[in-house]
Amino acid sequence: MKKTMVYAALFCAMTLGSCRQQAPAPAGDGAAEASRSDSAQGLDRCNVQVGSVGFTHALNGADSCATVGPGAVLRLNSRAKSDIFCDPNGKLTSSTLPILLTPVDNTKPFTFTAKVTPGFTDEGLYNAADLFVYANDTLWQKLCYEQDERGTHRVVTVRTRGTSDDNNHQQLDVPAVYLRLSSDAKTLASYYSFDKKEWYMVRLYENYYPAQIWVGLASQCPTAGVCTSFFEEISLEQKSVGDFRTGN
């Protein structure tokens, strides 16, 4: 097992440099973004199977940074300056984050869940493990377990519709947490849980995304070093939560 992980780490280290970077698209309003083609333009085809979920598309070479281990545990590496953000001031805009994606019919309900263990480090400002709803590089949302400016760990949501907002939510003192995105085709909500039984809502808004979208996973490293995050118990169900307030 240890030898396998060493080989996987060496492989990812060699391939991180080849992760393709994509220039950010000009920001636009939400209506314009929603009308853009929902094809896989800008995404590469891949085949990363994690348990029952198959990730068929990769942004910025995410498949070359992924290793699937025993027990359907996905390991994702990212190098320094790997981030996605559409800064309202234009100063911190980036679209370099490797993201694994799988298509979803957004005209139907879905729930995407994973247990995440981010690669928090002393120098890793904003290191995080992310769940994504993604339409294109200026129309997406991520739900993160992230390290903030004070070194504390928080649930964070970033909603991007032309430009990004950035909302820090609960501070947590655990190495891993369950994250969940759920939609009934009209409403999209974000949750976290410690035990996958009791869920806490952190965000809810209108599902204005186009009919064809992707959900996905990423390990972000916006500043320094390398961020290695682990994702377990990944599931994608064609149903929404029964109660949007409780997340169950």
Of the given ranges (28-42, 79-93, 167-181, 183-197), which has the lowest mean pLDDT? 28-42
Query: What pLDDT score does 227 carry?
Result: 96
pLDDT > 80? residue 82: yes
pLDDT tens-digit series, residues 120-144: 998 899 999 999 999 999 999 999 9
pLDDT tens-digit series, residues 48-76: 999 999 999 999 999 999 999 999 999 99
pLDDT > 80? residue 29: no
Query: What pLDDT score does 39 carry?
Result: 44
Query: What pLDDT score does 41 carry?
Result: 58
Please state, rounded to an integer, the average pLDDT across all residues of the chain.
Answer: 87
The mean pLDDT of 78-85, rounded to a whole number, is 95
pLDDT > 60? residue 169: yes
pLDDT > 60? residue 15: no
pLDDT > 50? residue 40: no
The mean pLDDT of 150-174, rounded to a whole number, is 96
Query: What pLDDT score does 192 carry?
Result: 98
In angstroms, the CA 84 to CA 98 distance is 9
pLDDT tens-digit series, residues 178-199: 999 999 999 999 999 999 999 9
pLDDT tens-digit series, residues 93-124: 999 999 999 999 999 999 999 999 999 998 89
pLDDT tens-digit series, residues 194-218: 999 999 999 999 999 999 999 999 9
Query: What pLDDT score does 148 carry?
Result: 94
Query: What pLDDT score does 211 carry?
Result: 97
Query: What pLDDT score does 92 carry?
Result: 84
